[in-house]
Amino acid sequence: MDKIVFAGAPYSNSAPLVEKLEEVDPRVRVMNDHPANLVGDLLEGRADVALIPVVHLFNHPELKMIDGLGVAADGPVKSVLLKCNVPVDQIKTVARDPASATSNALAKVLFPKVEMVDGRRDACGTAGCIAGGSPALADATVVIGDRALCSAPAVAGDIDLSEAWKEMTGLPFVFAVWAVRKDFPEIGTVGEIAHKAYGAGFRALETIAARYAGELGKPLSFWRDYLGCTIHYELNEQDLAGLARFRELVSCDKSD
């Protein structure tokens, strides 16, 4: 192959997976896109490999994950939050984050009685307006990524959705995985590249953390801990058990 396109989102949580891809193989080109668009990039051939939210993997049996790698957390993740405008026992509506179907589905699994609504950000980016132009804020809003990491707490506090998942199931949560089309002829090759790139990214973790400290303003120690401890990228049996459990619960929710 003359060119292999990997697609990812420009978030810090995936940087150790993506940062060194072009360095480890000269055929690789990296494209960044909105997380919600990555599955389309893959299905429509704009990308050969994409770091997709796991709900998209569930919904597309024509896709296959690359074994052993993903974006996961075993407890609090800090960057996938439910930001509450009212106390948790009063939450009836939750505004989706348009960036991640997985985080929205996780919120619904954890809070099955709430109504999920489409929303837009307020001036602070931390609350959603109910779809249809109503000025009323949703009771809570899903917020992910670096925006969540760097946001002030919501008026009624934040719920870390990965921590809530761990408390409910005892299992880690997998947010995203590298995926390819099942008919892609070089699955083994891109799998080797992905693993090699992660190894190089892990070795460069201090440099990556320092860059985010400079760009987003939190201390180096924060980014070192977030990228090196809070998030993990090598998936083990417990991670796969958590992934299977989430798939089961999402399927049950759809059938209700």
Indicate whether 189 and 66 sit together in one domain.
Answer: yes
Same domain, 99 and 221: no
Domain boundary among 169, 195, 215: 169
Residues of the domain holding 212: 4-70+174-234
Question: Tens place of pLDDT for every residue, the chain, 256 residues?
Answer: 789 999 998 889 999 999 999 999 999 999 999 888 999 999 999 999 999 999 999 999 999 999 999 999 999 999 999 999 999 999 999 999 988 899 999 999 999 999 999 865 443 344 443 333 333 589 999 999 999 999 999 999 999 999 999 999 999 999 999 999 999 999 999 999 999 999 999 999 999 999 999 999 899 999 999 999 999 999 999 999 999 999 999 987 665 4
- The CATH number that applies at residue 107 is 3.40.190.10
Does some domain include residue 249?
A: no
- Between CA 180 and CA 198 the distance in angstroms is 17
Residue 243 lies in a domain: no
How many domains is the chain built from?
A: 2
Distances in whole angstroms, Cα of residue 184 to Cα of each of 1, 44, 107, 155, 205:
12, 12, 33, 48, 31
In a domain, 244, yes or no: no
